[in-house]
Amino acid sequence: MKVVLFSFLVLCMQAGVLHSTDPRDERSANDDKFEEELEQGYQKLKGEPNADNTKRLLEQLHKMEPEIKQELGLSPERKAELQEAMKDGWLSQFTKQSEHANYNYDLSYDYGGVMHYGATGFVKYSKIRYKFTSDGRLNYSVSRNDKPVMVPRDIKYLQTLGSPFISFYEKLMMNLHYKCLGEKCAK
């Protein structure tokens, strides 16, 4: 979301809607100090935006629309594709969570945790059809066509998604949460 907001503010600067109020000098939107000033709040609305500036801003925002959609979540096309591949009622289980709702104690993303769905949405609920994997394990799938309903950005991690066992990072996260580290919780 910060990226989207920052991009929007850069576009406003380029369109002439925002300007620096730093009295020491005038800075352009491409100046190295722009980001620092932006974070410090040295921006304000520059009077009434004229029609030309507004038109340029809207054109630039229109060009950014796909990127904004990607940052905010799934595009309608991707959502429809997922709904087609997934059994009814399961799309809500695959929503992007905010950092606040899913705090991970500054650990790296854990593709292979027991709390992570597999690529075809393996979860254990009685209303989902089950199947055996090639290694004989029983798995449950929300996929209608056995194709992935979740694909990581780095495709190398596709087979890593989900696990029947708790991962190192999940154990570490629990220990961090309960402040159980070192000798204190050796047992």
CB atoms within 10 A of CB 123: 15
Task: Provide the domain limits for residue 115.
Answer: 87-187
- The answer to whether position 79 is within a domain reads no
44 and 133 belong to one structural domain: no
d(CA 24, CA 161) in angstroms, rounded, equals 53
Same domain? 65 vs 124: no
Same domain, 178 and 91: yes
Q: Mind listing the pLDDT tens digit for each residue in 32-70?
A: 554 554 444 433 334 445 566 666 766 776 666 666 555
Name, in order, each residue with C-beta under 8 angstroms of 117's C-beta and a sequence gap of 6 or more: 93, 94, 123, 150, 161, 162
Pair (182, 103) in one structural domain: yes
Q: What is the pTM of this model?
A: 0.40
The predicted-structure confidence for 154-173, as pLDDT tens digits, reads as follows: 878 777 777 777 788 888 88
**What value, to the nearest 5°, has the Cα angle with vertex 61 and ends 96 and 92?**
20
Last residue of a domain, one of 45, 72, 99: 72
Amino acid (one-letter) located at 120: T
Give the total number of structural domains in the chain: 2
Does 183 share its domain with 155?
yes
Q: Examine the domain organization and report whether 181 and 154 are in the same domain.
A: yes
- Residue 82 resides in a domain: no
Classify residue 96 by its DSSP letter: P
